[in-house]
Amino acid sequence: MLPESSYTRGGTLAGKPLTGLVDPVRLLGLFDEGATVVLQGLQRYHPPLADLVAALELELGHPCQANAYLTPAGAQGFAVHSDSHDVFVFQTHGTKQWEVHGTDGPGDLLLEPGVVAYLPTGTPHAARAQQTASLHVTIGINQLTWRALVERVVRDAVAQVPDDHLPAGWLDEPADLSSGLGHHLRGVADRLVAVDTDARADAEVRRFLTSRPPRSAGGLRDRVALADGIGPDSILERRAGVPCRLVDEPDDRIRVLLGDRSLVVPARLRPALDEVARREAFTPRDLVAHLDLESALVLTRRLVREGLLRVG
C-alpha cells in the first residue's frame, strides 16, 4: 500500500486550502511502474454500481460496497491475503489469474470479462494481471452477525445496572463484591429472559431500513418537476434500491421505511402505499381506487420529495 502523499497533492478552492487531491501525473507514473489503482466505495459515484449495491443490500439484509482494481499488465496489486467479509469478484476488462487457497491447498482461477468468482470470508487469495491491463470489481458483503446482535441486546440489559461505586473495603471483604455481582448478574439475566424477541427483530428491521446511504441521484431534476407541477397522468417510477416497508405505529398511523429515513402517515393511506410498493411505475390516477385524486396527488408529491419516487 503506497502512502497517500505519493499520489496526492494540495490545492485551493475559492481561497480555501484543500488536501488529498489526486495528482494525475503522479498517479499515472505509479501505474506505469506497476502500481494498482484502487477505486474504493465506487457505488457512491457510479450509478449502475449504486443500483446494484442498493438492491443487494435489500435482498441480503447486509451492508455492501463496491471497489474497483485497475492493474497494469503482468502486475500484482497485493500479496496473498484474506478479507474479513464475503466478496463477489467480476472481471470487466482484461484477464487476471487468481491464486485461491482452499481446504485442499492453493488453486488457480482465470477471470475474464463475464466471469464471476465468490470468495467466502477468510479465503486467502492473490491475483495477477495477464497480457493486458486488468480491471475487476469486487462487491464486499459486510455481514451483520448474530454476535453483534446479541451484544446489542446484552448491552441494553447491562445499561440498566446502576453505575454506583463498588463498596469500600471490598479488597478485604471480597464476599461483599461477590454478593453484589451476583445480584446484578441475576438482574441482567432476568431482563434478557424477558426480552421481546419479536419486538427486537422489528427494531433491527427498522434500524437497517432507515440507515442505508441516501439514494438521491436526479433529486434536483425531480424538484424542478415538482415545481413545474405533477398531474394526474404524470409517470412516476420507484427509485431503484429504495425500500417501501410499512410498519404499524400507535394512534392509527403507519411508518414508511425508506432506506435512509422514515415517514409517519395516517393508516388510511396503507392501501395506496401498498399499491405504490407493488409497482415499478404508475400515475397518480392509478391510486384512485384507494384515494381521491387530489389526495393521490398530495401523497405522490410527498413521496417524490422523500426520494421514494422519481418523475419519469
Same-domain check for residues 62 and 152: no
53-67, 70-84, 101-115, 185-199: range with lowest mean pLDDT: 101-115
First-to-final CA distance of the chain: 44
Task: Give per-residue pLDDT as tens, 129-161.
Answer: 999 999 999 999 999 999 999 999 999 999 999
pLDDT, tens only, 81-108: 999 999 999 999 999 999 999 878 788 9
Tell me the per-residue pLDDT of 212-250, one tens digit each, with 9 for 90 and over: 999 988 899 999 999 888 999 999 999 999 999 999 999
Kindly state whether residue 211 falls inside one of the protein's structural domains.
no
- Which pLDDT belongs to residue 1? 83
Decide if 22 is inside a domain. no
The DSSP annotation for 223-284 comes to HHHHHH---TT--EEEPTT---EEEEETTTEEEEE-SS-EEEEEGGGHHHHHHHHH-SEE-G
Same-domain status, 108 and 133:
yes
Residue 240 and residue 187 share a domain: no
Grid cell, residue 207, equals 434500524
In a shared domain, residues 46 and 133:
yes
Query: Is position 126 within any domain?
Result: yes
Q: Kindly write down the DSSP assignment for every residue of 52-97, as one continuous string.
A: HHHHHHHHHSS-EEEEEEEE-TT-BSS-SB--SSEEEEEEEES-EE
Q: What local confidence, expressed as pLDDT, does residue 56 receive?
A: 96
Residues 300 and 285 in one domain: yes
| CB burial readout 201-239, b (16+ within 10 A) else e | eeeeeeebbbebbebeeeeeebeebeeeebeeebebebb
SS3 per residue for 139-198:
EEECCCCHHHHHHHHHHHHHCCCCCCCCCCCCCCCHHHHHHHHHHHHHHHHHHHHCCCHH
Output the pTM of the full model: 0.87
Q: Do 132 and 48 sit in the same domain of this protein? A: yes
Distance CA 226, CA 287 (A): 18
Q: What is the CATH number of the domain that holds 132?
A: 2.60.120.650
**Domain contains 16:** no
**199, 244, 224, 196: which is closest to 305 by C-alpha?**
224
How many domains does the structure of the chain reveal?
A: 3
Does 124 map to a domain?
yes
The x, y and z cell numbers of residue 226, run together, are 415538482
- Distance CA(236)–CA(277), nearest Å, equals 12
188 and 106, same structural domain? no
Give the three-class secondary structure for 40. Answer: coil
Give the mean pLDDT of the chain. 95
Is residue 204 assigned to a domain?
no
Cα–Cα distance, 218 to 310 (Å, whole number): 8
86 and 131 fall within a common domain? yes
Q: Residue 73 and residue 164: Cα distance in Å, rounded?
A: 64
- Which residues constitute the domain of residue 158? 146-163+175-195
Task: State pLDDT tens for residues 267-305.
Answer: 999 999 999 999 999 999 999 999 999 999 999 999 999
Indicate whether 188 and 261 sit together in one domain: no
User: What are the CA-CA distances from residue 275 to residues 99, 231, 301 (Å)?
Assistant: 49, 18, 15
Residues 104 and 73 in one domain: yes
Residue 17 in any domain: the answer is no
